[in-house]
Structure 1
Amino acid sequence: MTIMMRGFAAALAVLSVSMPLAACSDERQLTVHSDTGEHRFTVEIVDTPESRAKGLMYRQELAPDAGMLFDFLAERDVSFWMRNTFIPLDMVFIRADGVIANVHVNARPHDVTSIPSDGPVQFVLEIPGGRSVELGIEAGDTVSHDRIPAAE
C-alpha cells in the first residue's frame, strides 16, 4: 500500500468513527419536561455578544414549535427587552443545571421595558408568546439540550 493510500485509509477510518457520533448530537433540538408532558422545540443557538444582541429582532413570525436558545456561557443575571421585535414572545429563564428559574409570558413587541431573570441563569429560551401557558411550562420544570447538563 502506498503512503498516499495509507493516508486515505486512515482518514476514511477516522470519518467512519466520527460521523455516527456527530449524527447523535443535534443542537437544534430542545425539550422542556413539565407536569403536562415533554414539549419539543427546534431552536437556533445564539452564544456570541453580536448574535445575542440581535436575537429575534425583525422576525415577522415564529412557528409554534420553534425558538431561540440564548447561551450566556456562564450563570449571571440577565435582562431582555423587545426593541425591534415584531412578535410577542415568552422568555423562559433557565439555570445552568437545566431548571427553569422563571417565565415571562407575552413580552410585548417594541417594548423597551427591562425583562429580568429571577437570579443568575445561563440560558434563555424565547418561544412564541403565550406558548408557555398553553403548554403548562413554569418555574421548576426542567430543560434538556446538548448544552445543558441533566437536571437533578
Structure 2
Amino acid sequence: MSKINKRADKNKKIPKVPFWKTKKVLIALIPVVVFIAIYFLYIKKSSNEPEWVKEGEVTFVSKDTRQKLAKIDVEVAINPTERSQGLMFRSKMKEDNGMIFIFEGDDMQSFWMKNTLISLDILFIDSKGVINTIHRNTVPYSERSLPSKSKSQFVVEVNGGYCDRHGIKEGDLIEYKLDQR
C-alpha cells in the first residue's frame, strides 16, 4: 500500500451513528431479552416440578355428626425419600388434591415448609384416624418447625385454607384408601 493510500485511510471518517438511534435499538431489545430470560427460567422451573399422581383418597369426617366434610385425592409418601420430598417445589395444587404421609407408628412428628412454594394446611393424625393438630395457612419457604401436639402416625397436607373452607377441625377424623402402588 502506498503512503498516499495509508494517509487516505487515516483521513477517512467513520460515520457515527446518532446516539438516539442506538438508544432506541437498545430500548427495543430490552423487552425481548427479558421475555426470553423469563421464558427459559419458567421452562426450567416447570420441568423440575414433580408431576402430581393420584395414589389414594382421604375423607374428612366430622367427630360430632359423623358426616363427610370433604374428600381429596392424594399422593402417598410412605418411605423416607418420599416423606422428605413431600410437596416441595410444587408451584400449585388443585383444590381437592393433597398428600398423605404414612409413618410406621404413632410418634411425635414435625414438618417445615423449606422449598415449599405454596401455603398448606398440615394435619397431624393419630393411628386411630383422629386429627390432633392442624397448622393452618403455613408460610411458604419457612424453616420454622411445625410440630404435632401429640403422637401421630399420619400427616395430611392440603392447600392453605382448605380446613377453614370445609369446616375441618382438631378432633375430626380421617378415613383413607390407597390405590395399588
The two structures have a TM-score, normalised by structure 1, of: 0.76
Matches within 5 A, 1:2-151: 28-34=56-62, 37-146=68-177
**Cα distance in structure 2, aligned partners of 1:72 and 1:63:** 25
**Cα distance in structure 1, aligned partners of 2:72 and 2:148:** 21
**Cα distance in structure 2, aligned partners of 1:37 and 1:28:** 17
**Cα distance in structure 2, aligned partners of 1:125 and 1:51:** 13
**Cα distance in structure 1, aligned partners of 2:75 and 2:151:** 22
How many angstroms does 1:37 deviate by? Answer: 3.9
**Cα distance in structure 2, aligned partners of 1:132 and 1:95:** 18
SS at match of 1:101: strand
CA RMSD of aligned residues (A): 1.6
List runs of 5+ in structure 2 lacking aligned partners. 1-53
How many angstroms does 1:121 deviate by? Answer: 0.2
Cross-structure match for 2:12: none
Which protein shows a greater Rg? 2
Query: Which structure would you say has the larger RCO, counting Cα contacts within 8 Å and 6 or more residues apart?
Result: 1
| Structure 1 or 2: more helix by fraction | 2
Does the Cα contact within 8 Å between 2:72 and 2:98 map onto a contact in 1?
yes
Q: Percent identity?
A: 38
Q: Count residues with an aligned counterpart.
A: 122
| Structure 1 or 2: more strand by fraction | 1
The two structures have a TM-score, normalised by structure 2, of: 0.64
How many angstroms does 1:146 deviate by? Answer: 3.1
How many angstroms does 1:85 deviate by? Answer: 0.4
Does the Cα contact within 8 Å between 2:58 and 2:71 map onto a contact in 1?
yes
**Cα distance in structure 2, aligned partners of 1:27 and 1:58:** 19
**Cα distance in structure 1, aligned partners of 2:69 and 2:121:** 17
